[in-house]
Amino acid sequence: MTAGLLIGLAVGLQLALVWLPTVTSVGLSFTSWDGVGGLDSIKPVGLQNYVDLVTVQPEFWRAVSNTVIWLFGLLLVATPLGVLLAVALDRRLRGAAFYEGALYLPVVLSMALIGIIWQLQYAPEQGFINNVLGTTRQDNLIDWLGDRNLNIWAALVPAIWRHVGYVTLLYLAGLRSVDPHMAEAASIDGATGAQTFRFVTFPLMRPVNVVIVVITVIEALRAFDIVYVLNGGRNGLELLTVLIVNSILGEATRIGFGSAVATLLLVLAIPPIVIYLRRAFARQTEAAA
């Protein structure tokens, strides 16, 4: 009885808080609705919202471009940094436990709090970064969050700062799970440390590599909190998630259009989520066996 109640409660919450909003959003993506009035004010428009996405909505393509930049920033900067730090920590440095905790600290902070911290760092006059760098040649303070040519890169810095710690610990766990005799055998055969890592250790961590790539893709697709805290996700900092919120809750409410973007984001997120879940269930099955 108790088990059935607990399971039923969990399933009910999952249906009410996840699946019902998801199905509703997909349905609303085929309608035009400004959120005012009852159900009779919802007008079916077929695929018009999806057509508008790719034809007459330039903010959509800016959001796509920024989301791709976000993804490659995490993949090409945070991931290599995480690998280097993991290799360094795997050498059992003095104080390694402290460094591991310090690197992982940003991961346990909420994304909104990280956005607030870096918003203070980027403040034009009182910010730490401008106080360190000084002014430009024109004696102007750098407007990190207001300059459309800078703000996406400025917003990527805290995202990378947070993601590096996560990647580092995952790779560190992967390094410590590799049989040390493999590296010893390569060393006896005359391989250098770099060659051993490249041709022996790193290929053995293929499951970890897959998980990190999948998690990084998911992180890029769901990125929202940092840019929304920094400047509301506007003026060059548009991401797909921010476009959804601004379309549904903004001044010009377009629930159908926002739902279409959300549905597209759902479709893009499904493949990496499926890959991640398959890996997770495969590890559980192996552990049980």
pLDDT in tens, 85-121: 888 888 777 777 888 888 888 888 888 899 898 888 8
**What does pLDDT average to over the chain?**
83
The span from the CA of 24 to the CA of 63, in Å, is 23
pLDDT surpassing 80 at residue 47: yes
The span from the CA of 218 to the CA of 276, in Å, is 10
- DSSP letter for 258, please: H
- DSSP letter for 251, please: S
Q: Per-residue pLDDT tens for 160-185? A: 999 998 999 888 888 888 777 777 78
For residues 189-224, one letter each, b for 16 or more C-beta atoms within 10 angstroms of the residue's C-beta and e for the rest, the string is eebeeeebbeebbbeebeebbebbbbbbbbbbbebb
Q: Per-residue pLDDT tens for 194-205? A: 778 777 888 888
Is pLDDT larger for residue 259 or for residue 177?
Answer: 259
Q: Does domain 28-288 have CATH number 1.10.3720.10?
A: yes
The span from the CA of 198 to the CA of 212, in Å, is 17
Q: How confident is the model at residue 157 (pLDDT cuts 50, 70, 90)?
A: very high
Q: Which helix (H) or strand (E) covers residue 225, if one does? A: helix 225-231
> What pTM does this model have?
0.84
Query: CA angle 185-186-191, nearest 5°?
Result: 150
Q: Per-residue pLDDT tens for 6-39? A: 888 888 888 888 888 888 888 888 988 877 776 7
Query: What is the predicted pLDDT for the residue at 289?
Result: 58
Query: What is the predicted pLDDT for the residue at 80?
Result: 92
Q: Which residue type sits at 85?
A: L
